[in-house]
Structure 1
Amino acid sequence: MKLIVAGASSLLGTEIPVQLDKSIDTSKLKNVVIRDYSEYPDDVKAEFSGADACIWTVTLTPLRTSKAELKRVCQDYTKLGFEAIYEAAPSRPFRFMYLSAERIPRDPTKMPVIMADYHNMRGMS
Structure 2
Amino acid sequence: MSTTPDHDRKVAEMSFASVYPHYLAKIEKKGRTKEELHQVIQWLTGFTNEKLQLLIANKVNFKEFFDQADLHPNASLIKGTICGYRIEDIETPLTKKVRYLDKLVDELAKARKMEKILR
TM-score range, shorter chain: under 0.3
Rg (Cα) greater in structure: 1
Higher relative contact order (CA 8 A, sep 6+): 2
Report which of the two has the higher share of helix. Answer: 2
TM-score (norm 2): 0.25
Report which of the two has the higher share of strand. Answer: 1
TM-score (norm 1): 0.24
